[in-house]
Chain A
């Protein structure tokens, strides 16, 4: 609770968001916790938002700012698609996000990861952090929970993964971040985008792998106390 913190430093954002490319498309992932201060206002939020049929965006930071930016870009992209006569490319979507983020940098507090598939460039991920920098990356991580994942991705990321490898990597990463970041939690949502279309997945909190110092969930202490004790050892 440092009351003298540097007001120019970026606010660390409650969330973990990830975007990863693989050979054939992209996998986007996010946690589902929205907090107001220390209270969890929504434990099952959907932070992966649709912009077009083939482009989605992961939102972090201010819920209001990220929703409005997405809504504007969805609107512009819709008009653009009609005028162009074919699906918009991921690059165009990312650039529109960038324009709004950059030109309103003093007022907005939102970090976004744009991911999708188009017929020209295949699967692409673009990170657009605070300030409106646009950066194309093979994978991107964002939100307060991402601090805990830089080392993990340095070690675990590989070029040319399969769809299942990429999705498992994303689920594992979000789950690890949830274990250590108080501002992330709930379920892991993923969206897989490739030439065949879009698939949404949902991994509830109790189905994720257990990490260090985490225990198998029980219905109640009473079940543990009433369970039969193990057989005595025979030497």
Chain B
């Protein structure tokens, strides 16, 4: 029996021809982003790794970028999709500036825009494979929000993506409080990043911490954290049980 294959219009997203247009799985990925509100604004940390599967391929990837005057965007997931998002936001900020009316998009508005972009892509089964953290300060108001690749979004005093959800957020829930100083905020983020370095396979020991306040934003130079290996049990774990892991 001979069936006529049903013919799709050329621009349809159904059928085999459309598969090359859909993101099925990520290739070059960044791991956790962790952020918290502190006295003067937002602090955000991310390592500089771009993994290619299990290979730690790129070690100088900047995963946090300023957006306009008031916002800071951190991303985990597919790096090429993050770069595309930066292009969209660039256009958004450009059009905002062209109004030349003294007003400028704040973090809450940027977060809302990103949420709509991510959710609409998800509805077309062609997601931007990222988890985003958007933080900023405008007119004295601090804002910190997150959006996932399926459009789940919320704001909070401290957020994290990826493994950070499991390893960093419990630490933040315990130790975060209102009006953290800059030093305490940095130390708290470093505590989270160190745990991630020990326990996340895709983490590398090279990170940046970004700060955004009413005055503006800065991203630190890349640096590495000291790690601790001197527990006596680490030196000879098989002492009590030969063949142990």
Contacts and interface: CB of A to CB of B under 8 A. Distances in A.
A40 interface: yes
Nearest to A33: B201
Interface residues of B, number: 43
Contacts of B25: 1-3
A215 B198 contact: no
Given A40-B199, A50-B242, A216-B224, A180 B56 contact: yes
Most B-side CB within 10 Å, residue of A49, A144, A220, A224: A220
Contacts of A71: 243
Interface string B99-114: 0000000000000000
B235 interface: yes
A24 B225 CA distance: 40
Given A40-B201, A50-B242, A202 B183 contact: no
Contact of B221 (A44, A47, A144, A224): A224
Contacts, number: 125
Contact of B231 (A34, A44, A183, A219): A44
B186 A222 contact: yes
A181 B186 contact: no
B55 interface: yes
Interface string A59-85: 000010001001100100000000000
Given A39-B199, A182-B202, A213-B60, A144 B227 contact: no
A44 B244 CA distance: 11
A73 to B, nearest CB: 10
Nearest to A48: B238
A12 B54 CA distance: 10
A5 to B, nearest CB: 11
Interface in A126-181: 144, 148, 179-181
Contacts of B221: 224
B122 to A, nearest CB: 17
B29 to A, nearest CB: 10
B220 A215 contact: no
A182 B237 contact: no
Interface residues of A, number: 52
B245 A182 contact: no
A224 B223 contact: yes
Nearest to B221: A224
A67 B237 contact: no
A182 B229 contact: no
A197 interface: no
A39 B201 contact: yes
Given A38-B202, A182-B54, A182-B201, A67 B245 contact: yes
Interface of B: 25-26, 51, 54-57, 59-60, 163, 183, 186-187, 190, 198-202, 205-206, 209, 220-227, 229-231, 233-238, 242-245
9 contacts: A1-B25, A74-B243, A187-B234, A204-B229, A212-B59, A216-B224, A217-B225, A221-B220, A224-B223
